[in-house]
Amino acid sequence: MGGATALTIRSLTERLKAEAYGLGFDAAGVARLGEPTTRAAFDAWLAAGHQASMAYLEGEGAARRRDSRLPHPGATHAVVVAASYGGRTPAGPVARYARGDDYHVVLRERVRELHGWLEREVGRPVNVRPYVDSGPILERDLAQRAGLGWVGKNTMLIVPGAGSHLFLASLFVDVALDEDAPFDADRCGTCTRCLDACPTGALPAPRVLDANRCISYLTIEHRGPIPPALREGVGGLLYGCDICNDVCPWTVKFARDTAFDAFRPRELFADTHDRAGTRALAREILMMTPADYAAAFRGSAIKRAKLWMLQRNACVVLGNVGTDEDLAVLEAMREHEHEIVREQAAWAVLQLSRGAV
């Protein structure tokens, strides 16, 4: 936009954000790319080993996260958007964000629509790159700088009027835009409900998440056995965890239904919101063949975890919330081809035989 005035830049930015809201996003803002305000905290987090086995957060991945101008050379600004994935649906064994279609695909397509609109408005090709939880970016820092909300004590971005059950996405562009003021207020106050509620102690301090103890990490990213000391804390959670979101007063009050049909729960998760439903889902996963797994989770973010990992999780869940009726399938898992599943199944059988539940 050669010769663009502040007025035309402001108008373009306002219309761009209006387009984002029209596409179904719950919040939108603009930030200039550069060094994140949380760089020192990020480095301290890495130094403490809180990233667990997620090596992609280290080395070159860490270097790129220390300056958001690095991932996509030439980009100067980021349009940051947030989309609800349905925080009003009941809690269950699968985290809400994973019950529908893969958010990476759904939101990337929607952000590309925003790209197309921008190119039509400025009348030239725009050098862009969309990011949906897929690049070396400190996304919550960028969202806070774009004015969307603040990072709560549970390390989640909290958006006033929308809570924290939100996906974040961004569009890096080489177009001059009017930047939003950063959201500098901390509205958590003295509340520590999220820290107190975590069953595995993964929040040792406000805004510090120790992935080594986090149920989401243990059930999705972790490739080893779930540590014995943390298994009972996993409870009935098969994939991910919503606890620190669910207890947040801001989310309790302001969580929204999703505007995206693709994020609505699949039929597989329709009746899994009580103990019986959790047990039934765990048994179904344990009995899945690779073909069953591929069919059930086609186009789902749940495929981030391999079948044997889901079966490992299911053994732990049944060890925590199962009954004698689940012993047969657990005994069968003691012959599983994967050593970790065999060990977790043996633990679950022992739990049930001791009458621990």
pLDDT digits (tens, 9 = 90+) for 105-151: 999 999 999 999 999 999 999 999 999 998 999 999 999 999 999 99
Tokens of 249: 């007063």
Residue 355 clears pLDDT 90, i.e. is over it: no
H or E element, residue 67: none
Please compute the mean of the pLDDT values over residues 312-325 and round it to a whole number: 98
Summarised one tens digit per residue, pLDDT across range 64-99 is 999 999 999 999 999 999 999 999 999 999 999 999
Q: What's residue 128's pLDDT? A: 96
Q: In the block, which residue shows the tokens 């761009």? A: 16
- Residue range 266-357 forms a domain whose CATH class is mainly alpha
Residue 329 is classified by DSSP as H
Q: Which residues contact 94 (CB under 8 A, 6 or more apart)?
A: 238, 239, 240, 269, 272, 281, 302
Residues in the chain: 357
Please compute the mean of the pLDDT values over residues 239-255 and round it to a whole number: 97
Mean pLDDT of the chain: 96
pTM over 0.85: yes
Tokens of 316: 């732990």
165 in Cβ contact with 86 (< 8 Å): yes
Q: In the block, which residue shows the tokens 């080993």? A: 49
Model confidence at 4, pLDDT cuts 50, 70, 90, reads low
Burial class (CB in 10 A: 0-12, 13-18, 19+), 60: exposed
Please compute the mean of the pLDDT values over residues 335-342 and round it to a whole number: 98
Please compute the mean of the pLDDT values over residues 207-236 and round it to a whole number: 98
Model confidence at 152, pLDDT cuts 50, 70, 90, reads very high
Q: Where are the domains of the chain?
A: 1-264, 266-357
Span of 1-5, 232-236, 252-256, 276-280 with lowest mean pLDDT = 1-5
Q: What's residue 41's pLDDT? A: 97
Q: What's residue 6's pLDDT? A: 75
Please compute the mean of the pLDDT values over residues 198-211 and round it to a whole number: 98
Among the listed residues 133, 210, 242, 271, the single catalytic one is: 133
Q: Which of 255, 250, 220, 215 is nearest to 235 (CA)?
A: 215
Q: What's residue 5's pLDDT? A: 78
242 is catalytic: no
The dihedral region occupied by 90, where left means phi > 0, alpha psi between -120 and 50, and beta the remainder, is beta
